[in-house]
Amino acid sequence: MSVHYPTLAQTIAALTEGETDSVALMATLACEIHHADDRFDWTGFYRVTEPDLLKIGPYQGGHGCLVIPFERGVCGACARSGTAQLVPDVDAFPGHIACASSTRSELVLPVRDATGALIAVLDLDSDQPDAFTEDDARELQAILDATFAR
Protein backbone atom coordinates (compact mmCIF):
# COMPACT_ATOMS: atom_id res chain seq x y z
CA MET A 1 0.00 0.00 0.00
CA SER A 2 1.39 3.40 -1.00
CA VAL A 3 0.12 6.71 0.27
CA HIS A 4 -2.04 8.87 -2.01
CA TYR A 5 -1.16 12.34 -0.74
CA PRO A 6 -4.12 14.30 -2.17
CA THR A 7 -6.55 11.93 -0.41
CA LEU A 8 -4.50 11.97 2.80
CA ALA A 9 -4.39 15.79 2.81
CA GLN A 10 -8.14 16.01 2.21
CA THR A 11 -8.90 13.48 4.97
CA ILE A 12 -6.66 15.27 7.48
CA ALA A 13 -8.14 18.67 6.59
CA ALA A 14 -11.67 17.33 7.16
CA LEU A 15 -10.77 15.60 10.45
CA THR A 16 -8.93 18.61 11.89
CA GLU A 17 -11.20 21.42 10.71
CA GLY A 18 -11.70 23.91 13.53
CA GLU A 19 -9.35 22.11 15.94
CA THR A 20 -6.71 24.31 17.55
CA ASP A 21 -5.22 22.04 20.22
CA SER A 22 -1.78 20.97 18.97
CA VAL A 23 -1.77 17.62 20.81
CA ALA A 24 -5.16 16.69 19.36
CA LEU A 25 -3.88 17.64 15.91
CA MET A 26 -0.68 15.62 16.40
CA ALA A 27 -2.63 12.55 17.53
CA THR A 28 -4.89 12.72 14.49
CA LEU A 29 -2.03 13.20 12.04
CA ALA A 30 0.09 10.44 13.61
CA CYS A 31 -2.77 7.98 13.18
CA GLU A 32 -3.76 9.01 9.66
CA ILE A 33 -0.20 9.20 8.30
CA HIS A 34 0.90 5.95 9.96
CA HIS A 35 -1.93 3.94 8.45
CA ALA A 36 -1.61 5.55 4.99
CA ASP A 37 1.47 3.60 3.87
CA ASP A 38 3.11 0.27 4.71
CA ARG A 39 6.55 1.92 4.68
CA PHE A 40 5.69 3.85 7.85
CA ASP A 41 6.83 1.59 10.70
CA TRP A 42 6.81 4.30 13.40
CA THR A 43 5.09 7.67 13.00
CA GLY A 44 5.07 10.30 15.69
CA PHE A 45 5.77 13.72 17.01
CA TYR A 46 8.49 14.98 19.32
CA ARG A 47 7.34 18.23 20.92
CA VAL A 48 9.55 21.17 21.86
CA THR A 49 8.93 21.33 25.63
CA GLU A 50 11.96 23.36 26.74
CA PRO A 51 14.71 25.22 24.92
CA ASP A 52 16.76 22.68 22.93
CA LEU A 53 14.72 19.70 24.14
CA LEU A 54 12.20 17.41 22.43
CA LYS A 55 9.82 15.11 24.33
CA ILE A 56 7.68 12.39 22.84
CA GLY A 57 4.21 13.33 21.74
CA PRO A 58 1.42 11.38 20.06
CA TYR A 59 2.68 8.45 17.98
CA GLN A 60 1.78 5.15 16.33
CA GLY A 61 4.04 2.09 16.49
CA GLY A 62 6.31 0.65 19.16
CA HIS A 63 7.77 2.66 22.02
CA GLY A 64 9.80 5.70 21.08
CA CYS A 65 12.54 7.56 22.90
CA LEU A 66 11.05 9.77 25.61
CA VAL A 67 13.50 12.69 25.42
CA ILE A 68 15.76 13.85 22.59
CA PRO A 69 18.08 16.84 23.02
CA PHE A 70 18.43 19.07 19.95
CA GLU A 71 22.11 18.08 19.71
CA ARG A 72 21.38 14.35 19.22
CA GLY A 73 20.06 12.21 16.42
CA VAL A 74 18.03 12.85 13.29
CA CYS A 75 15.17 14.51 15.21
CA GLY A 76 17.63 16.82 16.93
CA ALA A 77 19.23 17.71 13.58
CA CYS A 78 15.81 18.65 12.21
CA ALA A 79 14.98 20.72 15.30
CA ARG A 80 18.40 22.49 15.20
CA SER A 81 18.35 23.25 11.49
CA GLY A 82 14.61 23.67 10.96
CA THR A 83 14.93 21.64 7.77
CA ALA A 84 13.78 18.21 6.64
CA GLN A 85 16.11 15.32 7.36
CA LEU A 86 15.87 12.52 4.78
CA VAL A 87 18.07 9.64 5.91
CA PRO A 88 18.21 6.60 3.59
CA ASP A 89 20.45 4.61 5.99
CA VAL A 90 20.26 5.45 9.70
CA ASP A 91 23.47 3.49 10.40
CA ALA A 92 25.35 5.99 8.22
CA PHE A 93 23.94 9.02 10.11
CA PRO A 94 26.45 10.30 12.70
CA GLY A 95 24.88 10.29 16.16
CA HIS A 96 21.72 8.40 15.16
CA ILE A 97 19.68 7.43 18.21
CA ALA A 98 18.41 3.86 17.90
CA CYS A 99 15.04 4.06 19.63
CA ALA A 100 14.07 0.89 17.73
CA SER A 101 16.58 -1.61 16.35
CA SER A 102 14.30 -2.30 13.37
CA THR A 103 14.65 1.25 11.94
CA ARG A 104 16.59 1.31 8.65
CA SER A 105 15.63 4.75 7.24
CA GLU A 106 14.05 7.91 8.58
CA LEU A 107 12.32 11.13 7.55
CA VAL A 108 11.98 13.98 10.05
CA LEU A 109 10.13 17.22 9.28
CA PRO A 110 9.81 20.49 11.22
CA VAL A 111 6.39 21.44 12.61
CA ARG A 112 5.77 25.19 12.90
CA ASP A 113 2.87 27.18 14.30
CA ALA A 114 1.26 30.23 12.68
CA THR A 115 4.06 32.49 13.99
CA GLY A 116 6.73 30.28 12.39
CA ALA A 117 7.97 28.98 15.75
CA LEU A 118 9.14 25.37 15.85
CA ILE A 119 6.69 23.45 18.07
CA ALA A 120 7.65 19.87 17.19
CA VAL A 121 9.15 17.54 14.63
CA LEU A 122 7.33 14.74 12.80
CA ASP A 123 9.42 11.56 12.81
CA LEU A 124 8.74 8.75 10.34
CA ASP A 125 10.75 5.55 10.66
CA SER A 126 10.80 2.62 8.26
CA ASP A 127 12.09 -0.91 8.66
CA GLN A 128 13.05 -0.68 4.96
CA PRO A 129 16.28 0.99 3.78
CA ASP A 130 15.90 4.11 1.62
CA ALA A 131 12.11 4.10 2.13
CA PHE A 132 11.46 7.85 1.84
CA THR A 133 11.64 10.27 -1.07
CA GLU A 134 11.80 14.00 -1.63
CA ASP A 135 8.15 13.74 -2.71
CA ASP A 136 7.26 12.28 0.71
CA ALA A 137 9.07 15.15 2.41
CA ARG A 138 7.38 17.82 0.27
CA GLU A 139 3.86 16.39 0.50
CA LEU A 140 4.01 15.71 4.25
CA GLN A 141 5.50 19.15 4.91
CA ALA A 142 2.57 20.72 3.05
CA ILE A 143 0.14 18.77 5.26
CA LEU A 144 1.99 19.85 8.41
CA ASP A 145 2.02 23.50 7.31
CA ALA A 146 -1.68 23.42 6.42
CA THR A 147 -2.55 21.87 9.78
CA PHE A 148 -0.33 23.68 12.28
CA ALA A 149 0.55 27.03 10.65
CA ARG A 150 -3.04 28.09 9.96
Residue pLDDT, tens place only, 73-98: 999 999 999 999 999 998 888 777 77
- CA–CA distance, 84 with 122 (Å, rounded to integer): 10
Contact 127, 41 (CB under 8 A): yes
**What domains are defined for the chain?**
5-148 (3.30.450.40)
CA 15 vs CA 7, 49, 58, 66, 102: distances in Å: 12, 26, 16, 27, 31
Tell me the mean pLDDT in the region 18-45.
97
Q: Give the tens place of pLDDT for each residue, 14-25.
A: 999 999 999 999
| 145: helix, strand or coil | helix
**The residue type at 113:** D
**103 Cβ contact list (under 8 Å, min separation 6):** 41, 42, 90, 125, 126, 127
By percentage, how much of the chain surpasses pLDDT 90?
Answer: 87
pLDDT classification of 1: cutoffs 50, 70, 90: low
Q: Give the tens place of pLDDT for each residue, 100-140.
A: 778 899 999 999 999 999 999 999 999 999 999 999 999 99
